[in-house]
Copies of this chain bind each other. A is one copy, B any other.
């Protein structure tokens, strides 16, 4: 199978760098083909702007959505964007690996999402009607592929627990796992989280490496997070609110899991 690792850490001689190298070697040893988009090493352009469309008149008003749509359709995107889209099309599974900085992905990776996820590629796809609100949240260009987040945090596991001050890790990651990965169609696997990454020693590193190896071996078999499909009957369209008989009384991110009470 083909695996794309999108990776963002500024220092290769870091825990993230070591885990990235381990993941590549482990996947290749299992016979998979691996590509890595090492965003810092690539000097990835983080800011999405008018320069991402190559054929604009310099005085034209830039519309992030509509210009992205036209550039994707007509092949006038910047080459770096098209190359990443090709990698996504090639991949059977995509891993986003990053340190959690200020409760989200590093800016350079957020800029990868904003630029590569063109209108017509990752959003604005499919029929928009009062029965079907676009191919998204369980449908879309990337449907049939799997995705997983590998993330390190400085904070402790308890700080990210159900009643921890930073919020539960599943909720902190919801905008990424549901909003960035599930939205264009990925089946999203449970995240691999390394807490308290600043407190590492050889024994802990060995344990983490073994656990990550096991998770990579299960990449094709583990059950995805059971997010609800937008167009499969659970939601009113176009309000896109859960129907009253679906998880009645439940609000917030957790309501969008099929297992929600």
- A residues adjacent to B (C-beta < 8 A): 10-11, 13-14, 40, 44, 46-50, 61-65, 99, 101-104, 106-108, 110-111, 113-114, 117, 137, 154-156, 158-159, 161-168, 171-172, 174-176, 178-180, 198, 230, 235, 238-242, 250-256
Number of copies of this kind of chain in the complex: 2
Smallest Cβ-Cβ distance to A113: which chain B residue: B102
Q: Which of B49, B108, B111, B255 makes the CB contact (< 8 A) with A40?
A: B49
Contacts of A165 in B (CB 8 A): 137, 230, 235, 240-242, 256
Complex contacts, A40 vs chain B, CB 8 Å: 47, 49
CB closest chain-B residue, reference A251: B162
List B contacts of A253 (CB < 8 A): 167, 171, 252
Write out the residue numbers on chain B whose beta carbons fall within 8 Å of the beta carbon of A108: 46-47, 107, 111
For A63, the chain B residues whose CB sits under 8 A away are 11, 14
Residue of B with least CB distance to A162: B251
Which residue in chain B gives the minimum CB-CB distance to A8? B47
* Residue among A65, A164, A238 having the largest count of chain B Cβ atoms under 10 Å: A164
- Further contacts, 16 of them, CB under 8 A, given A44-B47, A101-B114, A102-B113: A13-B61, A47-B107, A102-B179, A103-B175, A104-B110, A106-B110, A107-B114, A156-B238, A156-B239, A158-B239, A159-B239, A163-B250, A164-B241, A167-B174, A171-B174, A172-B179
B166 contacts A179, CB within 8 Å? yes
Q: How far is the CA of A14 from the CA of B103 in the complex (A)?
A: 28
